[in-house]
A and B are shown apart, each in its own frame.
Chain A
Amino acid sequence: MKIALFIPCLVNQMMPDVGIATLEVLEKLGHQVILPEGQTCCGQPMTNSGCFDEAKNTTLKLLNAFKHVECDAIVCPAASCLVAAKENFHKFDNSPSAQIVIDKLYELTEFLHDIAPIKQFNHPVPSKVSLQMSCHGIRMLSLATPSESMGRQFNKVEAVLSAIDALEIVYPDPRDECCGFGGTFAVDEGAVSAKMGKDKAQAHAATGAEYVVGFDPSCLLHLDGMIRRQQLPITTRHIAQILNSAL
């Protein structure tokens, strides 16, 4: 498939390794990968604070970067940004050309589970990983059944990772409580955000896992800051990095 990468500003500026791993995973799986130019912020920091006027410009610039780009799918390694882009594109532009972009948007795990499943991994990853089931991915993108929901359960993240040899998957307790990042929440509500982050980082460390693995770079960035402050014996990895080492 021909895939256009949607690399959110946080990944582009602060976590390029996540972008590189995503690119390499998709290339190893035989896809042709392009990076459309002119990508800006999805507008989430503004819209999450109710500031839609302030978000409009940057959102439309990002949307325009993908309009008329020839590709089969647009793949993003950040669930929260993807959800915001989907919602904000729709809010600010309801033209057919915007809808074409929206219909092609996938989060990386979602893409690898629903659209182009990985047939086989080549290398074992002998590590214990504690999965960070970030809120927007599970509750807005349906990557897994949130712990609040009853009935039939599914988990796309575990489904994708579980085919990797020697990889042990565990979960923190509570399983999917928010890490407390929440964008500007981390600054507006510094004390509560920090306490949530501390509790979450400790819950991951308590599993004895080597890595916290997640699909949302912003949560991982927050947890990384908490883990190093607490000097906990665990480090963060994006799911693309684990997949990349198994391919």
Chain B
Amino acid sequence: MNLSGRVRFNPLLRFMGLLAAMGVALTVSSAQARIDDEKIVVVKAGRIITVTGEEIDGGDIIIRDGKIELVGKRLEYPAGATVVDASSQTVMPGLLNAFSRFGLPNYNRSGVHGNYTGADHVILSEIDFEPLVSNGYTAVAWCPPGGGIPGVASVYRTAGADDLRVLDAQNYLLVWMTDPSGDKGTLRGALKQAQAEIDKVEKARKDWEEKQKKEAEEAKKKAEEAGGEKKEGPPAPAEPKPAEAKPVEGGKSEPPNEEKPKEFEPPKIDPAHQPLVDLIQKKAGVKALIVLGSASDYLHAEDVLDDHKELAHNYYLRLGISTDFHLVAEQLGEQKAFVLAHGLIGRFPQTVNRNNPVALLIENGCEVALTPGSDSTFELEQYRTRLADQVRAGLSRADAIRAITLNPWKFIGMEKKFGSIEKGKTADLIFLDGDVLDPAARVQRVMIGGEVVWERDERQANR
């Protein structure tokens, strides 16, 4: 079995861990359960951070076929269930790194490349997922490298069986706006081009309809001339089809010699602009993520989108050490913007006064999803520490937890399946040996789809 593409873990170690935790009998029964159609896993947790509900001290999570079935205290479960004993650990939903280029090559590319996806650049077997998995990220949204409009993000799990890896190959469209003097023109031009593509298709459709109409009339005339005596065919008005609807076959009852109307073949749309076309046409589930570096970039982005008010978009605020997003927090709040941000305490520009933009944005009515500041192992490790800093500086615990669990999933539109511990959600869980806001707490186990796929090995645990 080729393990190189997956998380490194020692099956023997895992097996021994399970032995120690549960005893031989249970392991045997779990082996039995695996044979059955239904696989039931029970997590006995010291504490469950459900995110959407109350936090539960000493509760159980019953998982059936990789999905959470029940959450509560002292639950009954079938005898054949696999029991994961985490009575000394805190269980919470797996994290999603919603903006990442982890393990991707670096390209200095610019321009419009809507046809590229993050997945295009991923070679799973080449990537060492240890830094992601060991810090609790069960999924990652890979953004294509490059500036301008580099492409579409792909959401992958960081561990687990290969066939369960891809969660969404084409998620949000990435749009950079950190250098407005160039990026504004790129976005403006891309939207213009996308509109031109739409117009091109519309025009072709109209021409085609005209042609069909003409042909139908001619055929009708011919039929009247040729078979005036027959009169079996109804008058058959050439119905002008609605622009959106595909031509219905047999919509016209023509004389029998008439061929079936051909399907309209729209001219090809430039694949690089396809996501922008979808955005303008408000295709469900298509969204743009606009990356901003400062408050002024927000104004520039809004300036471009002035003519495209309905364009589905979110903002990604790249908070730095010195951050001025407080200047537009009110405007973002008025929009009820859903923003992605680094969870970072910065300072107001030109001062040493502390600036907690995330708390301010939430206060102003924004929804905030957090993401690590970069893909370095250090940043991935610091993620929860920074969150704790923010809670100390005024962010509420509930908001903070939501911002790293449910909201990133909501951000990519998969909150119905991931992001919290409740009935029906996928059992992608992480096990911490302390509280989520305790910087010293470490991820001890990672569960994907009800299966423990990673455990911290002893040497690391003692570090």
Query: Are A and B physically bound partners?
Result: no
